[in-house]
Structure 1
Amino acid sequence: MELKKLLKNIDFELKKGSLNKTITELKYDSREVEKDNMFIAVSGFEVDGHQFIPQAIKNGATAIITEKDISQYESGITYIKVNNSRKTMAELGKNFFEDPLSEIKLIGITGTNGKTTTAYLLYNILKEAAGKAALFGTIKNIIKDQELASSRTTPESIDLYRYFAQMREEEVKYGVMEVSSHALDLYRVAGMKFEAAVFTNISPEHLDYHKTLENYREVKSRLFSQLAQDKFAVINLDDPNADYIKEKSGGKKYFYSLDSEAADLHTKNFKLHQRGMEYKSGGRIESLFKLRLGGIFNIYNSLASILTANLLGVEAESIEKALAEVDSVPGRFEIINAGQNFQIVVDYAHTPDGMKNVLETAAAMDKNRLIVLFGCGGDRDRSKRPAMAELAEKYADYTIVSNDNPRSEDPEKIFTEIKSGFSESFADYEIIADRKLAIQRAVEIAEEDDLVMLLGRGHEQYQILNNKKIELDDRQVAYQAASALKGI
C-alpha cells in the first residue's frame, strides 16, 4: 500500500524522509521485518521497541513509526512520529487491510470469568447456524476450520486485522473474540467496530496492573463505550456491576439472569447433574437446553451465548442443537477419564471467584472426598493467594499446593503467602513444588469415588518458571498418572 494512503485519517508528524513509497507489510517485532516493511516501535513494559529500530532497518524496514524523538536518522528511511504507537498501530492495521470489519460481524466478550467458555459456546452456535465462524481467545484462534496458535487472550491489533482480512477472503461472517482488560487498555481493539459486546462478571483480577478494582472495571467498560447506537450489549443482570456497564454502553441493552424475569433471557428452572445440566429458558426464548457442562457458572455462560446468538438472528432450534453437541471446553471443568474409579477435573480457575465457582459445583456433586490441587501465579496480584487458600480449606478434604506459573518470582515466597490463608489448626494439606509430581501425588492418593480437581492452569501446555517455558499439560500428566494405576 502507498504510504500516503496508509496514513489516511492518522495524526502524525513527518520527522524525516518521503511519503512517496510503498509499504509491503506492518511489523511490531523487528525480528520479523522484511524488505519495504513498516516497523512500529512500541514502548513495552519490559522491552522498548525503539531500541530495535536499527535492527528493523537492517532487516529491510523503509518506514518507522515512533512515539519518541530519534537521535539519529538514516538516509532513505521515513520516520513518522505519533502520540501513541499502540493506538496508531490499530489505525494502521485498519487502513492496511482495508477495513475488513465492514464485512464481518464481530462479537467481543469481556469479564473476569467465563469469557473463554462463553466465546467457545457462541462460536459453536454461530458455526452451526452459518456453516463457518471464527474464534479468537485464550485457548486457540480458529478461522473456519483452521486452528492458529494463541499466545495471549486478545492478539495485537495488526494480527487481529490480518485475521479479519483472512475471514473476509474466506467469507466468514461471524467472529467471536475474548477481549481482555489488557487488550482494552493497550489499544489492541481500538477503533474496532463490534456488532455486540458481552459482559460476564467482574471480580478482583489483574490488580497488579490496574491497581484498583474501580480502574479495572472502568477499563472493562470501554468495550461497551465503543458500541455504535445500532449495535447491542448483552449484560449479566445478576452481577453487581450490571448498572455500571449499562450506563457505559453505547448500544442497545439486553440482559440475562439466572432467575430474574426482568431479564431478556432467564431460566425457569434448572437441573445440574454429574455429567451436565438442563434448563428451560424464559423471556425472548422459551426452550429446553441440555448441555454436557457442569456448574451454575456455566448456566450463565450458556445464557450469554444463547441471548447473543438470538439477537444475531439465530433460531432457537439451531442454538439447542449446537449447545447439545459441545462435549467440553478445553481446560474448563474438563473431565479426564483413563478408566479410573474416581473423577479427575482440570479447570483454569486461577482467581478466588473462579475457584469458588468450581468448588461450589464440586461440593454439589456426588463423591467421596474432594482433593484439590492449586497454586498462584508469580508476578501477579498477591492479594488472591491467601484468599484461595481459605477456599481450599473450606471446600476440600485434602489440599496439595504446587507451582502454577511462578514466572520470575521465588516459588517459596508464593507458598508462604498462600499458607498465610490457612488457619493455624489446618493440617490437611501438603506442598509439592514440582507440578508434575504434585499431580501424580493427587492421583495416587485418590480412592474410589473421590473427586480430584487440578486448578489454575487449565488448557495451558507450558509452565513458566524463571521466565522459561517448560512443557507441562495438567491434563496429559493426570491422564498418564491415572493410566499407570494398577496397569490401566
Structure 2
Amino acid sequence: MELKQLFKNIDFELKQGNLNQKITEVKYDSREIEKDNLFIAINGFEVDGHQFIEQAIKNGAAAVVIEKDLLEYQTGISYIKVDNCRKVMAELAKNFFGNPLKDIKLIGITGTNGKTTTSYLLYNILKEAKGKAALFGTIKNIIGEQELDSSRTTPESIDLYRYFSQMREAEVKYGVMEVSSHALDLYRVYGMKFAAAIFTNISPEHLDYHKNLENYREVKARLFAQLSQAEFAVINLDDSNSDYIKEKSGGKNYFYSLNAKTADLYTTDYELHQKGMEYRTGGKLDTFFELNLGGIFNIYNSLASILTAKLLGIKKDTIKNALAKISSVPGRFEIINVGQDFQIVVDYAHTPDGMKNVLETASAMEKNRLIVLFGCGGDRDRSKRPVMASLAEKYADYTIVSNDNPRSEDPENIFAEIKKGFSKKFNAYEIIPDRKKAIEKAIQIAEKNDLVMLLGRGHEQYQILKNRKIKLDDRQIAHQAAVEMKGI
C-alpha cells in the first residue's frame, strides 16, 4: 500500500519524502522492522520511540511517523509528522488492514473487576451459538481454533487490527475483548467500531497512573462514548457509577442487576453452594441457570454475558448449554483438587474490591479455617496495600504475606506498607517473601476442611523481579505441594 493510501482521511505534515512510497508493513517496534516497513515512533511508559528511529531505518524502514521535529532527516526516507502517534497508529492500522471491523461484531468489556470472567463466559456462549468466535484478553487471545499468547490485557491498535484481519480471513464473525483503562487512555481502541460494550464496575485501581478515581472513571467511560445509536451498552445497575456510564453512552442502554426489577435482566432468587450456583432470572429472560462458578460476583459476570447474548439474538437454550459446560475460568476462583481433605482456591484478586469479593464468598463457604496468601504488586498504587492487609485480618484465620510482582520496587518496602494495615495486636500472620515457599507453607499448615486462598496472581505464569522474569505459576506450585502432602 502506498503512503498516500495509508494516510487517507488522516491529518499530517510531510516533513520529507514521497507519498508514493510503497509500504509492506506497519510496526512500532524498531527491532521488528524490515525492508519497506513504516515505523511509528510512539511514546512508551519507559522509552520514547523517537530514540529508535535510526535503528528502524537501519533495519529497512522506508518511512517514519513522528510527533516531534527531528534535528536531522536522513535522505531517501519519508518523514510524516502527526499530532499524536498513538492515535494515528489506530487510524493507520484501520486503513492498512482494510477496516476488517465492518465485517465483525466486536463486544468490548471494561470495568475494574470481572472483565476476564465476563469475556470468557460470553466468548463461550458465542462459540456455542456461532461455531467459532474470538477472544482477546488477559489470559489468552483466541481466533477460532487458534490460541495466541497474551502479554497485556488489551494489545496495541496495530496488533488488534492484525487480529481482526485474521478473524475476517477465518470467517470468524464475533469477537469479545477486554478493554483496559490504559488501552482507552493510550488510544489502543481509538475509533474502533464496537457492536456492544459492557460495564462491570469501578473501584480504585491504577491510581498510580490515573491519579484519582474521577480520571479513572472518565477514561473507562470513553468506550461507551464510542458507541452509536445502532449499538448498545450493557451496564451494571448496582454499581454507583452506572448513571455516569449511561450519560456518557452513545448507544442504547440496557441494565443488569442482582435484584432490581427495573433492570432489563435481574435475579429473582439465587443460591450459592460448594460446586457453584443456581438462580432464576427475570426481565428480558425468565429462566433458570446453573453454573459451576462460585461467588456473588460471578452472578454479576454471568448476568452481563447472558443479557449481551440475548440482545445479540442468541437463544435461551444455547446460552444455558454454553454456561453449563464451563467448569472454571483460568485463575478466577479456580479450585485445585488432587484429593486432599481441604480446599485450595487460586484467584486473581489483586485490588481491595476484588479481594473483598472473594473473601466474602470464602467466608460463606463451609470450612474449618480460612488461610489467605496475598501480596501487592510493585510500581503500582501503594494506597491499596494496607487496605488489603485489613481485609485479610478481617476474614482470614491465618495470613501469609508474600511477593506478588515486585517489579523494580524493594519487596521489603512493599511488605512494610502492607503491615501498616494490620492492627497492632494482630499476630496471626507471617511474611514469606519467596512465593513458592509461601504457597508450600500455606498448604503444609492446612488441616482437614480448611480453605486455602492464594490471591493476586491467578493465571499468571511468570513473576517479575527487578528486570527479569522467572517462571512461577501459583496453580502448578499448589498442585505439586498438595500432591507431595498426600504422598501421591
TM-score computed with the length of structure 1 as normaliser: 1.00
1:47 & 1:442 partners in 2: Cα distance?
A: 40
Q: Which moved more, 1:334-343 or 1:188-197?
A: 334-343
Indicate the residue corresponding to 1:273 in structure 2: 273
Indicate the residue corresponding to 1:195 in structure 2: 195
2:39 & 2:275 partners in 1: Cα distance?
A: 51
- Residue type of the partner of 2:248? K
Q: For each residue in 1:59-88, what CA deviation from the matched residue of structure 2 results, as whole angstroms up to 9, or x when unmatched?
A: 010010000111111111100000000000
CA contact (8 A) 2:340 2:486 kept: no
Indicate the residue corresponding to 1:457 in structure 2: 457
1:291 aligns with 2:263: no
Q: For each residue in 1:341-395, what CA deviation from the matched residue of structure 2 results, as whole angstroms up to 9, or x when unmatched?
A: 1110000000000000000000000001000000000000000000000000000
Identity %: 78
Q: For each residue in 1:402-454, what CA deviation from the matched residue of structure 2 results, as whole angstroms up to 9, or x when unmatched?
A: 00000000100000000000000100000000000000000000001100000
Indicate the residue corresponding to 1:474 in structure 2: 474
Alignment of 1:123-272 (within 5 A): 123-272=123-272
Indicate the residue corresponding to 1:300 in structure 2: 300
Q: Which moved more, 1:69-78 or 1:448-457?
A: 69-78
- Residue type of the partner of 2:309? A
Alignment of 1:46-57 (within 5 A): 46-57=46-57
Indicate the residue corresponding to 2:97 in structure 1: 97
2:407 & 2:454 partners in 1: Cα distance?
A: 19
Residue segments in structure 1 that go unaligned for 5+ positions in a row? none
Indicate the residue corresponding to 1:109 in structure 2: 109
2:331 & 2:242 partners in 1: Cα distance?
A: 27
Residue correspondences, number:
488
Q: For each residue in 1:203-256, what CA deviation from the matched residue of structure 2 results, as whole angstroms up to 9, or x when unmatched?
A: 000000000000000000000000011100000000000000000000000000
Indicate the residue corresponding to 2:400 in structure 1: 400
1:87 & 1:339 partners in 2: Cα distance?
A: 52
Indicate the residue corresponding to 1:422 in structure 2: 422
1:410 & 1:359 partners in 2: Cα distance?
A: 28
Indicate the residue corresponding to 1:322 in structure 2: 322
1:11 & 1:174 partners in 2: Cα distance?
A: 31
Indicate the residue corresponding to 2:21 in structure 1: 21
2:363 & 2:130 partners in 1: Cα distance?
A: 39
1:9 & 1:161 partners in 2: Cα distance?
A: 18
- Residue type of the partner of 1:466? K
1:111 & 1:103 partners in 2: Cα distance?
A: 26
Following superposition, the deviation at residue 467 of structure 1 comes to 2.7
- Residue type of the partner of 2:377? G
1:43 & 1:166 partners in 2: Cα distance?
A: 27
Indicate the residue corresponding to 2:382 in structure 1: 382
1:345 alignment partner, SS class: strand
2:370 & 2:463 partners in 1: Cα distance?
A: 25
2:253 & 2:369 partners in 1: Cα distance?
A: 44
Following superposition, the deviation at residue 486 of structure 1 comes to 3.5
1:79 alignment partner, SS class: strand
Indicate the residue corresponding to 1:360 in structure 2: 360
Structure 1 segments, 4+ long, off by >3 Å, are none
- Residue type of the partner of 2:94? K
2:302 alignment partner, SS class: helix
Q: For each residue in 1:16-59, what CA deviation from the matched residue of structure 2 results, as whole angstroms up to 9, or x when unmatched?
A: 01111110001100000001000000112211110100000000
1:228 & 1:467 partners in 2: Cα distance?
A: 43
Indicate the residue corresponding to 2:60 in structure 1: 60
1:15 alignment partner, SS class: strand
Q: For each residue in 1:185-209, what CA deviation from the matched residue of structure 2 results, as whole angstroms up to 9, or x when unmatched?
A: 0000000000000000000000000
2:219 & 2:203 partners in 1: Cα distance?
A: 13
2:351 & 2:467 partners in 1: Cα distance?
A: 21
Indicate the residue corresponding to 2:445 in structure 1: 445
Alignment of 1:26-41 (within 5 A): 26-41=26-41
1:486 & 1:341 partners in 2: Cα distance?
A: 9
- Residue type of the partner of 1:54? E
1:270 alignment partner, SS class: strand
2:46 & 2:280 partners in 1: Cα distance?
A: 50
1:145 & 1:69 partners in 2: Cα distance?
A: 45
Following superposition, the deviation at residue 339 of structure 1 comes to 1.4
1:14 alignment partner, SS class: strand
1:466 & 1:171 partners in 2: Cα distance?
A: 43
1:481 & 1:342 partners in 2: Cα distance?
A: 13
